[in-house]
Chain A
Amino acid sequence: MSISEGTREEARQLMARYPRPRSALLPMLHLVQSVEGYVTPEGIGMCAELLGLTKAEVGAVATFYTMYKRRPVGDYHVGVCTNTLCAVMGGDAIYAELKQHLGIDTQNGVTDDGKVSLEHVECNAACDYAPVVMVNWEFFDNQTPQSAKQLVDDLRGGTPVKPTRGADTVVTWKEAERVLAGFYDGRANEGAAAGPATLEGLKLARSDGPNKSGAEKSGATR
């Protein structure tokens, strides 16, 4: 696949956002993934050409970051947190069962139908919802092996799935990468402000119990 002039123009727009164009390299690599699906040689070539770098310099950056993929991933990229806390809470079991269920043995491996790929990820900053599974970087909180298997079955079967904290539906890998490149998709108003764990402390502070808010009594304003 070759990269279109439209994509090159968008890459130039990203470069213009920064005092020095090279700062746009990470966003540009996200943009490459949004059209190519992964960081292709053509994508590296485009970044190198526009930024006046060698392909080796761009490749050195691309291979440093785990979100940049060197091979195609699925339309829905599933990440299971197996850092200590999620692992202990069940992330290890979820990852093991998903590997078997999907027939995927390798990190970032893809199902035969190209729909789903699987990765074990590091801490995704949702520890109060452990164990956590991500789909195209949207949160699926408090998962079990059963719920995670249902989730990937739905993704493969085309049944819409809804993140626990995120947009109303999960966009495709390429669509997600476009947002991460810096092109907003207009979906910020979808979904909730917070999940239940996020609000536990606030709920207590709102109650009339002994833990009622101290800040409120002092007349704080935001």
Chain B
Amino acid sequence: MELTPVLSDNWDADQPWTLAGYGDYSAARKALAMDQDAVIQLVKDSGLRGRGGAGFPTGNKWGFIPQGDGKPHYLVVNADESEPGTCKDIPLMLANPHVLVEGVVIASYAIRANKAFIYVRGEVLHVVRRLQAAVQEAYDAGILGADVLGTGYALDVVVHAGAGAYICGEETALLDSLEGYRGQPRLRPPFPAVEGLYASPTVINNVESIASVPSIVANGVDWFRGFGSEKSPGFTLYSLSGHVTRPGQYEAPLGVTLRELLELAGGVREGHELKFWTPGGSSTPILTAEHLDVPLDYENVGAAGSMLGTKALQIFDETTCVVRAVLRWTEFYAHESCGKCTPCREGTYWMVQILERLEKGEGDAQDITTLLDSCDNILGRAFCALGDGATSPITSSVQYFKDEYVAHWEQHGCPFDPSASTLWAGA
């Protein structure tokens, strides 16, 4: 298995976050010499799919923007990385903010936008600094502003820090937040491509999606399609965390398996074995050791009953209590539910109560039935995917580890020792 560092290629360079350390924006120069529609077509042909979780084809999103409508168009980069387990965009922007800015230039030009926003979560101070500095450098070098790279095209970019709300990673909640409101999702249609920011046509793309564009423009469609599969082409950042010998970022072609990635990462931590894992954050149903050979692309993870999501591979070994893990995720969803939709707001609250009881060993079989029934009443019944995501850990953990729920009430408590799971266990 060959690794494919493209986005991560300059992360070990000298000051790669500076313009001098990054390069000359040659991909942007190339794109700006092309017709806008040709740039959109190129990204469509590349097959690049959104790296923020849903996997929607990026070029198609751009193609939905109505042209000649007389309204301003906007590009919004979703840099609100907050899905539990997900830790790829933050190191990308810390090391290489200019690849994002270059992608912003290309994407904005293609959709005929003169204003772009990078909505970055607020809780990452140094990443905000690196973005601010990169954007300022780009202005000073004539890469942004009234005359981008001497082409006459005008583009302004604003770095906008959020203020702590997972829901703002949901694209329509992000738009409400960016307009200065509480971040609550909007009903669709209308979709953001038609009525997005300020009710104008808006493209919202994940950081990694936009950052992938310069290399596609520079190297071409065939090069990009040389990695990955027909329906999931290209390379991507896989983030391994938890009970693994060498957690970290591994940039590989789409379709690599967890078995292969674990081999690169030195395996599950010494003396332990894989119990469960998430393929793409806590909102993607958990998988087990029986799924080690599932190709990690959009189709195959879906066929295995989960989702590729953000490729956030959280690895948990046999010391981990699955009920504790699921309770904590459920507390997270209850805390982050924006409150707009009753099934999600109320459902997550009650599911926490039930899971707390189960975790203490005070539950019973009826609690499992009630939990699954609650999930059934949330899934598909909320405006946005937060509600759906809240059900994933519960339904998948009951599917694979029902015995462990039972063991909690049979033993009148949690059978696990939490200290055995820690980073310093055995040290």
Residues of B within 8 A of A93 (CB): 418-419, 422
CB distance from B144 to the nearest CB of A (A): 13
Q: Number of A residues whose C-beta is below 8 Å from B?
A: 91
Please, how many angstroms separate the alpha-carbon atoms of A130 and B162 in the complex?
23
On whether the beta carbons of B226 and A218 are closer than 8 Å, the reply is yes
CB distance from A210 to the nearest CB of B (A): 8
The residue that B250 contacts in the complex, of A25, A126, A181, A201, with Cβ under 8 A, is A201
On whether the beta carbons of A85 and B314 are closer than 8 Å, the reply is yes
The residue that A142 contacts in the complex, of B177, B282, B423, with Cβ under 8 A, is B423
- B2 at the A interface (CB under 8 A): yes
- A180 at the B interface (CB under 8 A): yes
CB distance from B280 to the nearest CB of A (A): 12
- The stretch that binds B, out of A5-13, A110-118, A190-198, is A190-198
On whether the beta carbons of A84 and B329 are closer than 8 Å, the reply is yes
On whether the beta carbons of A67 and B84 are closer than 8 Å, the reply is no
Residues of A within 8 A of B253 (CB): 214
- B128 at the A interface (CB under 8 A): yes
Residues of A within 8 A of B123 (CB): 67, 79, 121, 124, 134, 137
On whether the beta carbons of B2 and A163 are closer than 8 Å, the reply is no
On whether the beta carbons of A65 and B99 are closer than 8 Å, the reply is no
The residue that A19 contacts in the complex, of B99, B128, B198, with Cβ under 8 A, is B198
**Residue of chain A at shortest CB distance from B91:** A198
On whether A182 and B161 interact (CB within 8 A), knowing A82-B328, A197-B249, A200-B249, the answer reads: yes
On whether the beta carbons of A126 and B423 are closer than 8 Å, the reply is no
Please, how many angstroms separate the alpha-carbon atoms of A75 and B83 in the complex?
28
- B101 at the A interface (CB under 8 A): no
The residue that B247 contacts in the complex, of A125, A139, A197, with Cβ under 8 A, is A197
CB distance from A89 to the nearest CB of B (A): 5
* A-contacting residues, B168-185, CB 8 Å: 177-183
- A56 at the B interface (CB under 8 A): no
On whether A128 and B249 interact (CB within 8 A), knowing A90-B424, A122-B332, A199-B12, the answer reads: yes
Interface centre among A68, A205, A212 (most CB of B within 10 A): A205
On whether the beta carbons of A213 and B129 are closer than 8 Å, the reply is no
**Residue of chain B at shortest CB distance from A123:** B84
On whether A213 and B122 interact (CB within 8 A), knowing A66-B164, A83-B84, the answer reads: no
CB distance from A30 to the nearest CB of B (A): 7
Residues of A within 8 A of B129 (CB): 167, 179, 184-185, 187-188
Q: Per-residue CB proximity of B357-389 to A under 8 Å, as 1/0?
A: 000000000000000000000000000000000
- A26 at the B interface (CB under 8 A): yes
- A150 at the B interface (CB under 8 A): no
Please, how many angstroms separate the alpha-carbon atoms of A28 and B5 in the complex?
39
Residues of B within 8 A of A137 (CB): 122-125
Please, how many angstroms separate the alpha-carbon atoms of A18 and B8 in the complex?
32
On whether the beta carbons of B219 and A201 are closer than 8 Å, the reply is no
On whether the beta carbons of A214 and B82 are closer than 8 Å, the reply is no
- B42 at the A interface (CB under 8 A): no
**Residue of chain A at shortest CB distance from B72:** A19
The residue that A193 contacts in the complex, of B3, B95, B177, B336, with Cβ under 8 A, is B95
* A-contacting residues, B135-191, CB 8 Å: 136, 158-166, 177-183
CB distance from A3 to the nearest CB of B (A): 19
On whether the beta carbons of A20 and B198 are closer than 8 Å, the reply is yes
Residues of B within 8 A of A55 (CB): none
CB distance from B153 to the nearest CB of A (A): 18
Please, how many angstroms separate the alpha-carbon atoms of A92 and B242 in the complex?
14
On whether the beta carbons of A29 and B163 are closer than 8 Å, the reply is yes
On whether A144 and B115 interact (CB within 8 A), knowing A30-B161, A220-B6, the answer reads: no
CB distance from B420 to the nearest CB of A (A): 10
* A-contacting residues, B7-44, CB 8 Å: 8-13, 15-18, 23, 26-27
**Residue of chain A at shortest CB distance from B214:** A222
- List residues of A whose CB falls within 8 A of some B CB: 17-20, 22-27, 29-30, 51, 60-61, 64-68, 79, 82-85, 87-90, 92-93, 121-131, 134, 136-139, 142, 144, 163, 165-167, 171, 176, 179-182, 184-185, 187-189, 191, 193-206, 210-218, 220-222
Contacts A25-B180, A193-B17, A201-B250 known; list 14 others, CB within 8 Å. Answer: A29-B163, A65-B163, A83-B84, A87-B324, A88-B324, A122-B84, A124-B123, A125-B90, A128-B239, A136-B125, A188-B134, A202-B251, A214-B4, A220-B6
